[in-house]
Amino acid sequence: MAGRATRVGHYLFTIHPARTVVLAFGLAVLGGTVLLSLPAAAQSGSGTDVLTALFTATSAVCVTGLVVVDTGTHWSGFGEGVILALIQIGGFGIMTLASLLALLVSGRLRLRMQLTAAAETKSLGIGDVRRVLLGVAGCTLAVELAVGAWLALRFRFGYGMPIPEALYFGYFHAVSAFNNAGFGLHVDSLTPYVTDAWVTLPVAVAIILGGIGFPVLLEVLRHRRRRRTTGRRGWSLHTKLTLITTAALLVTGTVLTCLLEWENPGTLGPLDWGEKLLNGFVHSANSRTAGFNAIDIGAMEASTLLMTCTLMFIGGGSAGTAGGIKVTTFAVLAAAMLAEARGEPNSMVMGRRLAPHALRQALTVALLAIGFVIASTLALLTVVKAPMEAVLFEAVSAFATVGLTTGITAEVPPAGQLILILLMFVGRIGPVTLVSALALRERTRRYQLPEERPVIG
C-alpha cells in the first residue's frame, strides 16, 4: 500500500500541473456533492437531490455564489458548514495553485523539479512552496478574521443579534466575501443593509483584497517594509498593472452604475446621494466576481446589466479568488490595441516592452472565453424561457464565477443547470490551466518561414 501511495503521489506531481488543478477541483466538487446530498445537510432532514447538491457544491468550490435553493433556509447548520468549507477550500486552493503555477511558468525557480523531488522524498518542505502556502494562509486568515470580527460587532450592536449568531453571520460573510464566493445567509443577499456602510463597505474591501491576488498582496506588503528602510517602492509590472487597472475599473463601474441607475425607482432611486454613491461602489466591487448584491439586480436597466457583464467578464487579478479573463489580460490587450493605433511595432507599458508570447496568451484567453460564453448562452436560450439579456447575464456570471443573477437561477431547468455547472467549473479553472499550459508548451523554433501579411479588416 505504501508503495502504491508513493507512486500515486509521484504521478500527481509529475503529470502536467494543469491536470492536477482539474483533478483537485473535481474531487472537491465530488466530495461536496456527496456531503450535501446527506439528509443531515438539509433542514428538512429528507436529503437533497443530487443535481441540486452538485450545483451547490460546484458553485461553492468554484467560489461563484449562484444557487438554486436558498442557502439560509434550505441547508441545515451542517450543510452551511459544508458550503463554508468548500468555499474556503476553493478560494485557498485557487490562490495557492495559481501562485505555484505562476512560479512554475516563470522558469526562475524550477518548481517542477522541486515538486518532483519533494514527491520522491515524501516531503513538501520546499522553501518556495512553503513561502507560498504560508503567505496565502496568512493573508486569508488575517483578512477573514479582521472583517469577520468587524461584521460580528456590527451585527451584535447594530442589529441586536445574539453573540453566537452575530459571530456566525460575521465570519460566514467574511469568508464568502474574501473568497469572492457571494454566498449569503439572507434570501435577498445584502439588500437588508443597503444603507449600512458599516456592513457593505467591509464586505467590498474583503472582495477587493481577495480579488487582487496573493502575489500582488505579498509584493505590496514586502515592498512596504522595504520602502521604510530604503525609501524605494520598485513594484513589478504585474503588480502595477493589476492595481492600476483594478482601481480604474472600480471607479468606472461606480460612475456608470450611479449614472445609469440614479433615478431608477427599483434600485438607487429611493436613496439619498450618499447612499447612491455607496451602493454604486459596492455594486462595482461585487461585479468583480463577488456575487453579493445590495440592490435588486433584476430591476436594473438593460444598459447597467450590459456594463455589469463587461466588468464580470474582465474579473479580478491573477492568482486571486476572482474569476474572469483577469485584469492583466485586459490591460495587455488594451496596450496592444493602443500600440497598433499608434503604429508602433511593440506594445509598451510603463517603460517596459511586453513579450510577444504574453500578447498571444492574452488574445487566446480572451477569444476562447468569448466563444465559450456565446456558445453557452445559445445553449441556455434553447432551454431557458427568459429574456436574452437575463440569460446572457447568467452565463457571464457563471463563467466569471461571480454569482450575480437577475433572479432566474432557481427557474433554470435541469439541462440548463448542467450548462451552468460546466460554465462555473471551466470559468474557475480554465484561465489558470490554459495559461499555464500555453506557457509550459513554449519552445524555440530553429527556423523561420517566409513572412506574408493577409488583408485585415
CA atoms within 13 A on the CB side of 31: 14
pLDDT digits (tens, 9 = 90+) for 189-213: 889 999 999 999 999 999 999 888 8
Note the pTM of the prediction, 2 decimals.
0.84
Q: Which residues pair with 352 in a beta bridge?
A: 349
**In b/e form, how buried is each residue of 93-117, taking b as 16+ CB within 10 angstroms?**
bbbbbbbbbbbbbeeebebbebbee
CA 325 – CA 373 distance, rounded (Å): 12
State residue 160 phi and psi, 5-degree precision: 70, 25
DSSP code per residue over 382-393: TT--S-HHHHHH
State residue 345 phi and psi, 5-degree precision: -75, -25
Distance from CA of residue 103 to its chain's centroid?
A: 20
Report which listed range, 11-20, 111-120, 277-286, is most confident. 277-286
pLDDT digits (tens, 9 = 90+) for 334-386: 998 888 888 888 888 887 888 887 888 888 889 989 998 999 999 999 999 88
pLDDT digits (tens, 9 = 90+) for 91-125: 877 667 665 655 555 544 444 444 443 433 333 33
Task: State the pLDDT at residue 382.
Answer: 93
**Cell 427557474 belongs to residue:** 411
User: 172 is in which domain, residue-wise?
Assistant: 2-440
Residue 447 resides in a domain: no
Residue 80 resides in a domain: yes
Residue 350 resides in a domain: yes
Task: State the pLDDT at residue 312.
Answer: 94
Which residues, other chains included, contact 204 with Cβ-Cβ below 8 Å and sequence gap of 6+? Answer: 177, 281, 282, 285, 286
Query: Where is average pLDDT lowest: 111-115, 252-256, 265-269, 316-320?
Result: 111-115
Residue 445 resides in a domain: no
Distance from CA of residue 223 to its chain's centroid?
A: 25
Residue 374 resides in a domain: yes
Residue 45: how many other CB atoms lie within 10 Å: 9
Say how many domains are in the chain: 1
CA 35 – CA 47 distance, rounded (Å): 10
Angle between helices 388-399 and 302-314 (to 10 degrees): 20
Ramachandran quadrant class, 200 (left: phi over 0; alpha: psi -120 to 50; beta: rest): alpha
Residue 448 resides in a domain: no
Residue 259: how many other CB atoms lie within 10 Å: 13
Closest CA to 293 of 283, 281, 280: 283
Residue 455 resides in a domain: no
Give the cell for residue 367.
477569444
Residue 452 resides in a domain: no
Distance between the two ends of the chain, CA-based, in angstroms?
62
